[in-house]
């Protein structure tokens, strides 16, 4: 019987695995169906940075003495002096992915190429069936507790006809299609967040003569990411705990404001886009670019041997229009990735609505039978803990709460106050 089985290995479960290394009395195993660790590989564009400090690594905020800190990774990789000279808190996204991959390779508890096909109740815990993808063999494991960390999957806001699939790319696969997009005669980017801005900037920097670039977002503006210190306090354990204490209706009413805080664009990215456009406008030259907010994608069509036809609506003026492009990039976000086998647990747990299961402050699903063998979730948490709860900065906070519950030991999750503001 294993104490903890984690399903999926993203930053959340990877951080949990790293922190559990400190507790010899807790056995754990984590399974991931991909053959190796990769963190948003389709968006590892050269020159893009993480939107949080390197201190928001897997372990530092819980134990800066851990061997799995980002700084120790730099030391082990002989890059510490270069990083010191770099003098940046926001590190390259590609480097953060390499750090995560390094940690995954150091942890024996993390197994890749292993797909969890079923989780069912068993005596004193859960029976987890796992298929090894390289040979098809099926193994069974028993665990006292499980942690669902299957992350999210691309959200496609409209139906995409089969004929259009090769020419419509979600931002999660941008690098796979980057060369074709650079060479296309016309490309439209749909979305309002950091990913959309980074993709548009990359296309703009590689725009060839005669290529038409468009950027549409249904948001009323291209909003800058909140960087003021007091604003950032909404990304602290103190606020997450306050948010969780609110009634369900209040939480749902508050979410749109939190989403706006999290989904903004780095000021430096917006500035680089504007500078590119401005320099091209010198001497009266106008770039072949269309940028339009308040515009929602309503449909995508493509006939045989025809370009894509995007049907758009400027919602403030209620004005509809269509454009034709060779390719479209949908930087339209993600939706929770809930495995099919989870449906067996749907009648066993409590729900706050038809879509949102009830989650405790320490990230447990609430079972009707009040069981002591826990099913934790790091997926589908916006409604219970707010959009900030899945931020990299707060992964350690989540993991500390899970570890305290698993061990049955009362430990302070942090050693000091996390915010100056009072929320109640």
Domain assignment present for 89: yes
pLDDT in tens, 25-72: 999 999 999 999 999 999 999 999 988 899 999 999 999 999 999 999
Q: Is 144's pLDDT higher than 90?
A: yes
Domain assignment present for 236: no
pLDDT in tens, 345-390: 999 999 999 999 999 999 999 999 989 999 999 999 999 999 877 7
Is 0.85 topped by the overall pTM?
yes
Domain assignment present for 139: yes
Is 56 in the same domain as 187?
no
Domain that holds residue 272: 155-224+264-330
CATH code for the domain in which residue 204 is found: 3.50.50.60
pLDDT band at 393 (very low <50, low <70, confident <90, very high): confident
Is 105 in the same domain as 42?
yes
Domain assignment present for 424: no
Domain assignment present for 302: yes
Is 147 in the same domain as 160?
no
Q: Is 414's pLDDT higher than 60?
A: no
The pLDDT, as a whole number, for residue 260 is 65
- Residues, the chain, total? 424
Is 69 in the same domain as 128?
yes
The pLDDT, as a whole number, for residue 411 is 55
Average confidence score pLDDT of the chain: 93
Domain assignment present for 244: no
Among candidate residues 281, 298, 330, the one where a domain is terminated: 330
Among candidate residues 314, 330, 346, the one where a domain is terminated: 330
Q: What percent of the chain has pLDDT over 90?
A: 82
pLDDT in tens, 294-307: 999 999 999 777 89
The pLDDT, as a whole number, for residue 327 is 97
The pLDDT, as a whole number, for residue 43 is 95
Please enumerate in sequence order all residues whose Cβ is within 8 A of that of 238, keeping only pairs 6 or more positions apart, or say none: 417, 418, 419, 421, 423
The pLDDT, as a whole number, for residue 194 is 94
Is 347 in the same domain as 384?
yes
Number of domains in the chain: 2
Mean pLDDT (whole number) for 277-282: 90
The pLDDT, as a whole number, for residue 148 is 98
The pLDDT, as a whole number, for residue 13 is 97
Among candidate residues 330, 353, 387, the one where a domain is terminated: 330
Is 26 in the same domain as 78?
yes
Mean pLDDT (whole number) for 62-84: 96
Domain assignment present for 209: yes
The pLDDT, as a whole number, for residue 416 is 57
Is 277 in the same domain as 324?
yes
The pLDDT, as a whole number, for residue 331 is 97
Domain assignment present for 146: yes
Is 48 in the same domain as 109?
yes
Q: Is 110's pLDDT higher than 60?
A: yes
């Amino acid at each position: 019987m294993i104490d903890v089985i984690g399903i999926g290995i993203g930053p959340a479960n990877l951080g949990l695995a790293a922190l559990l290394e400190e507790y010899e009395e807790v056995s754990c195993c984590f399974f991931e169906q991909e053959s190796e660790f990769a963190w948003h590989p389709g968006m590892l564009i050269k020159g893009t940075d993480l939107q949080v400090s390197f201190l928001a690594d897997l372990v530092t905020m819980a134990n800066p003495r851990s061997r799995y800190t980002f700084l120790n990774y730099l030391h082990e990789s002989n890059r510490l002096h270069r990083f010191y000279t770099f003098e940046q808190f926001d590190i390259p996204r590609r480097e953060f992915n390499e750090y995560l991959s390094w940690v995954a390779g150091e942890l024996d508890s993390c197994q890749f190429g292993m797909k969890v096909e079923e989780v069912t109740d068993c005596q004193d815990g859960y029976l987890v069936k796992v298929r090894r993808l390289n040979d098809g063999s099926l193994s069974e494991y028993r665990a006292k507790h499980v942690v669902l960390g299957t992350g999210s999957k691309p959200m496609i806001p409209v139906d995409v006809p089969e004929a259009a699939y090769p020419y419509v790319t979600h931002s999660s696969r941008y690098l796979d299609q980057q060369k074709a997009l650079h060479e296309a005669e016309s490309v439209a980017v749909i979305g309002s967040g950091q990913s959309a801005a980074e993709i548009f900037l990359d296309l703009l920097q590689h725009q060839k003569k005669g290529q038409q670039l468009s950027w549409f977002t249904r948001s009323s503006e291209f909003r800058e990411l909140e960087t003021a210190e007091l604003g950032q306090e909404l990304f602290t354990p103190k606020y997450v705990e306050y948010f969780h204490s609110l009634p369900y209706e209040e939480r749902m009413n508050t979410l749109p404001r939190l989403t706006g805080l999290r989904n903004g664009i780095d000021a430096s990215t917006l500035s680089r886009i504007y500078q590119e456009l401005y320099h091209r406008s010198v001497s009266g030259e106008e770039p072949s670019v269309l940028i339009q907010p308040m515009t929602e994608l309503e449909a995508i069509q493509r006939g045989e041997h025809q370009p894509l036809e995007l049907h758009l609506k400027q919602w403030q003026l209620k004005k509809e229009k269509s454009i034709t492009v060779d390719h479209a990039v949908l930087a339209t976000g993600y939706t929770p990735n809930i495995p099919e086998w989870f449906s067996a647990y749907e009648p066993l747990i409590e729900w706050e609505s038809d879509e949102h299961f009830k989650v405790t402050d320490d990230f447990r699903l609430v079972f009707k039978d009040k069981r002591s063998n826990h099913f934790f979730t790091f997926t589908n948490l916006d409604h219970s803990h707010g959009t900030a709860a899945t931020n990299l900065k707060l992964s350690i906070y989540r993991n500390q709460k899970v570890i305290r519950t698993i061990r049955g030991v009362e430990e302070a999750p942090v050693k000091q106050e996390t915010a100056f503001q009072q929320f109640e």
